[in-house]
Amino acid sequence: MADEGLDYSILFNKDLPPPGGRFQGHPKYNFIGGHHDAELQPMDGFIESAANVFRGDPRNISMYSFEGPQGILPLRRFLADKLAKHRGINITPEEVLITSGSGQAIELINEVLLDEGDTVIVERFSFAGALTYLRRRKINIIGVDLDQDGLRMDELAQVLGELKSKGIRPKYIYTIPTLQNPTGTVLTMERRHKLLALSQEYGVPIFEDECYADLIFEGEYENAIRSLDDSNRVLHIGSFSKTLGPGIRLGYIVADWEVMCRLLTRKTDAGTGVMDQMIVADYFTNHYEKHILNVRAGLRRKCDALTAALREHFGPTVEVEQPRGGMYLWVKLPEGVDCRQFVGPAMQEGIAFNPGPDWSADPEAAANYIRLCFALPTEAEIWEGIEKLARVFQLDGGKA
């Protein structure tokens, strides 16, 4: 009798999410996630840096964590210098932990701070990945509204007061203050100071995610909240995926030793890949300033193209504010439109977009929003894709 094989369905973890489908290739008009512009990748610079790395000390790849579990020193030194110059954060390399992307950074902080049933405060519209992590951990998520100046401090103060009256102390306030994801807003300096004051008053740490902060298109911009912190109230994370590309799985955490020593006990991956760290450290140490100016200019051109295409093909039926930087637009559709109904039809036309509910602490409040990442498609593809997307939605007088 033939062996029918093992039925794994009776063995799977009961909390597993639904099964994923097979990869069918990327759509032609890809406006999702945090993909980057292939034309902005410094391949010649990477080749040069890789050659430098391969002429280096072979112990870096012959041992686990040759330079310690926090990551290689050249990359941590670069980060300490960059954060001081561009974000006003004065730290030593010992306060930096290199991670396998910012997603791992978020989950490591969750690992050391959160228990099931805890409460966390987030911006009402926020990073989909961070919200997914919290929901999987069965965390009580409370969203606070944003306006054109970022997280609203009046509403945050009210929420903190109400929670305190119930005997609830949130584990952290998660904020993306600079080029907020998905809204693109920038928290004002006045509000950054107020946020720190509320953190002190209520004893709640600030979890500052600055993955997009390097992508301000031009001019001076607000220092990080961590730069204003003279104690240990702010946990700060960032990423190399947005300045280089998501294929570079490198992020980082800035934290004092009281937290850092706990993070190290939960980072059980035997260390983030050393080769990526070494190449990025060499490349950025020698080319960061020129590289980031080139990336900002390229992304700005695409942002202008996407904004213009939306206004031409969607007209006044959508609301969109052009951000000061970043790689995405947060687009408001007419009231009553549920963008989730158009995900499938858009994919049939080769168009992928992020539905708003995935990016909201209150999914129904974002049913008429979509998030469009403009970094990957060419300017021609942006115009073609948005024209096709407008036909998919067929918005007329606020109705789909």
pLDDT band, residue 1 (cuts 50/70/90): low
**What's the pLDDT score for residue 64?**
64
Counted residue by residue, the chain has a size of 400
Pairing of strands 29-30, 351-352: parallel
DSSP string, 293-338: HHHHHHHHHHHHHHHHHHHHHTGGGSB----SBSSEEEEEPPTT--
**What's the pLDDT score for residue 262?**
97
Contact 142, 289 (CB under 8 A): no
CB atoms within 10 A of CB 136: 12
**Residue 91: how many CA atoms within 13 Å on its side-chain side?**
31
Helix-helix angle 379-393:274-313, to 10 degrees? 50
Contact 369, 336 (CB under 8 A): no
pLDDT tens, position by position, 334-343: 999 999 999 9
**What's the pLDDT score for residue 2?**
59
Whether 398 has a pLDDT exceeding 50, the answer reads no
Contact 144, 159 (CB under 8 A): yes
Higher pLDDT: 208 or 272? It is: 208
**What's the pLDDT score for residue 340?**
96
pTM, rounded to two decimals: 0.93
Higher pLDDT: 237 or 3? It is: 237
pLDDT tens, position by position, 290-310: 999 999 999 999 999 999 999
pLDDT band, residue 399 (cuts 50/70/90): very low
22: helix, strand or coil: coil
- Domain topology for 21-42+289-393: Aspartate Aminotransferase, domain 1 (3.90.1150)
Residue 320 is which amino acid?
Answer: V
- Domain topology for 44-287: Aspartate Aminotransferase; domain 2 (3.40.640)
pLDDT band, residue 14 (cuts 50/70/90): confident
Whether 102 has a pLDDT exceeding 60, the answer reads yes
High-pLDDT (> 90) share of the chain, %: 79
Helix-helix angle 189-202:153-165, to 10 degrees? 10
**What's the pLDDT score for residue 329?**
97
Whether 183 has a pLDDT exceeding 90, the answer reads yes
pLDDT band, residue 395 (cuts 50/70/90): low
pLDDT band, residue 62 (cuts 50/70/90): low
Q: What is the residue-averaged pLDDT of the chain? A: 93
- For the chain, the structural domain boundaries read 21-42+289-393, 44-287
Among 169-183, 216-230, 314-328, the range of highest mean pLDDT: 169-183
High-pLDDT (> 70) share of the chain, %: 96
* Cβ-Cβ contacts under 8 Å for 225 (sequence gap 6 or more): 175, 177, 187, 192, 195, 196, 206, 208, 234, 236
Distances (CA, A) of 106 to 101, 175, 344, 348: 9, 12, 30, 34
**What's the pLDDT score for residue 3?**
67
Q: How far apart are CA 207 and CA 68, in angstroms?
A: 25
Q: How far is CA 369 from the centre of its chain?
A: 18
In which element (H, E) is residue 74 found? helix 73-87
Whether 362 has a pLDDT exceeding 90, the answer reads yes
